[in-house]
């Protein structure tokens, strides 16, 4: 069974008039309910102390009191904000932390049907991201066990700038981001390995580059992989500049899940971006992602 954390507030915590395609969570959960190898679980709320591992207390408290100023909110987006945005944000971070615990406990794969909020920095949010659950999970895992080598593998079409920034001085976490160079964020941060791809890159070149990167960083030497699995690299995505097909994304996912099936490395999946028009294409790609993860888990057990 693949455990995935999901709550209706992932959709309902965003105002229906926001430009963000909030229905993607609900549509995906409806599809995944039909998979017998996937179990949807309710996420808990992350605590203030947990958030403080990766974030500035003043930023956390201002957000929790729903008192971020206009400029800070504009930088995040998802507007107009509903009061439910606080609970939504805490459940997303909580779900990622629970997925982390399950992946470590079972040495398997677990995930969150949201999160991958990699544009959030220590003291401000950006690009639909409020708290950085990838950095949070990395620092939480290190708190549980000091001598670990963690790979933050960010394959969203946008650079994991917040993750790179928060983890810049943490040598036990290797941050790798493979993204479209021309895309948001326009001011990039430095990950341990950044690969900025040319616009309209297709499946074949993408896989060559991914395979080379995995060899170069010796991906099989890590104790834990945090996989930001955004599907906004899809050709039909409205916010991506790449040209991957659904099949190309399946190959990408396979390459990552092999690290669990062949080397027993625990993997946490963070959903990440996906803004295709129509949104069903994004939902298809995410359904593939989680179905492949469920398959990898059952083949590792066999």
Least distance to Zn ion, CB of residue 49, Å: 29
Are residues 25 and 6 in contact, defined by beta-carbon separation less than 8 angstroms?
yes
Within 90-109, the residues that bind Zn ion by CB under 5 A are none
The span of 80-88, 135-143, 242-250, 272-280 binding Zn ion (CB under 5 A) equals 272-280
Nearest to 120 by CA among 135, 98, 108: 135
**Which of 76, 296 has the CB closer to Zn ion?**
76
Check binding of 230 to Zn ion (CB under 5 A): yes
Check binding of 156 to Zn ion (CB under 5 A): yes
Least distance to Zn ion, CB of residue 283, Å: 16
What is the 3-state composition of the chain as percent helix, strand, coil, each rounded to the nearest 5? 45, 15, 40
**Which of 219, 242 has the CB closer to Zn ion?**
242
User: DSSP secondary-structure letter at 129?
Assistant: B
Least distance to Zn ion, CB of residue 158, Å: 4
The span of 10-18, 37-45, 153-161, 262-270 binding Zn ion (CB under 5 A) equals 153-161
Among 154, 161, 232, 237, binds Zn ion (CB under 5 A): 232
**And the tokens for 281?**
């294409």
Residue 190: how many CB atoms within 10 A of its CB? 13
Check binding of 273 to Zn ion (CB under 5 A): yes
- With CB under 5 A as the rule, give the number of residues binding Zn ion: 5
Check binding of 88 to Zn ion (CB under 5 A): no
The span of 16-24, 95-103, 151-159, 241-249 binding Zn ion (CB under 5 A) equals 151-159
Check binding of 161 to Zn ion (CB under 5 A): no
Q: Is 212 exposed, middle or buried (0-12, 13-18, 19+ CB in 10 A)?
A: exposed
Check binding of 274 to Zn ion (CB under 5 A): no
Check binding of 237 to Zn ion (CB under 5 A): no
Are residues 267 and 225 in contact, defined by beta-carbon separation less than 8 angstroms?
yes
SS3 276: strand
224-228 and 150-154 strand pairing: parallel
Least distance to Zn ion, CB of residue 106, Å: 28
- Residues near 212 by Cβ (< 8 Å), separated by ≥ 6? none
**Which of 79, 185 has the CB closer to Zn ion?**
185
CB-closest chain residue to Zn ion:
273
Among 158, 179, 188, 252, binds Zn ion (CB under 5 A): 158
Check binding of 284 to Zn ion (CB under 5 A): no
SS3 177: strand
User: DSSP secondary-structure letter at 221?
Assistant: G
**And the tokens for 186?**
């326009």
How large is the C-alpha radius of gyration of the chain? Answer: 17
Are residues 266 and 224 in contact, defined by beta-carbon separation less than 8 angstroms?
yes
Q: Which residues bind Zn ion (CB under 5 A)?
A: 156, 158, 230, 232, 273
């Amino acid at each position: 069974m693949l455990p995935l954390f999901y709550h209706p507030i992932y959709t309902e915590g965003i105002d229906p008039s926001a430009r963000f395609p909030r229905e993607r969570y609900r549509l995906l959960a409806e599809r995944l309910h039909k998979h017998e190898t996937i179990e949807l679980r309710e996420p808990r709320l992350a605590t203030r102390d947990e958030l403080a591992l990766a974030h500035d207390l003043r930023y956390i408290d201002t957000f929790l009191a729903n008192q971020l100023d206009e400029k800070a909110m504009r930088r995040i987006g998802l507007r107009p904000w509903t009061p439910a945005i606080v609970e939504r944000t805490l459940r997303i971070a909580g779900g990622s932390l629970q997925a982390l615990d399950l992946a470590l406990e079972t040495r398997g794969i677990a995930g969150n049907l949201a999160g991958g909020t990699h544009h959030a920095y220590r003291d401000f949010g950006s690009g639909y991201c409020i708290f950085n659950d990838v950095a949070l999970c990395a620092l939480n895992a290190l708190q549980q066990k000091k001598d670990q080598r963690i790979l933050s593998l960010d394959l969203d079409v946008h650079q994991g700038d917040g993750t790179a920034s928060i983890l810049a001085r943490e040598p036990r976490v290797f941050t790798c981001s493979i993204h479209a160079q021309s895309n948001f964020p326009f001011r990039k941060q430095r990950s341990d390995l950044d690969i900025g791809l040319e616009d309209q890159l297709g499946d074949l070149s993408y896989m060559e580059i991914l395979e080379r990167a995995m060899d170069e960083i010796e991906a099989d030497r890590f104790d834990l992989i945090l996989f930001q699995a955004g599907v906004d690299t899809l050709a039909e995505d409205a916010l991506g500049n790449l040209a991957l097909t659904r099949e190309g994304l399946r190959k990408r996912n396979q390459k990552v899940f092999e690290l669990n099936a062949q080397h027993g490395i625990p993997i946490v999946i963070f959903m990440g971006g996906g803004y295709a028009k129509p949104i069903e294409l994004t939902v298809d790609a995410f359904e593939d992602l989680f179905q492949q993860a469920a398959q990898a888990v059952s083949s590792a057990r066999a």
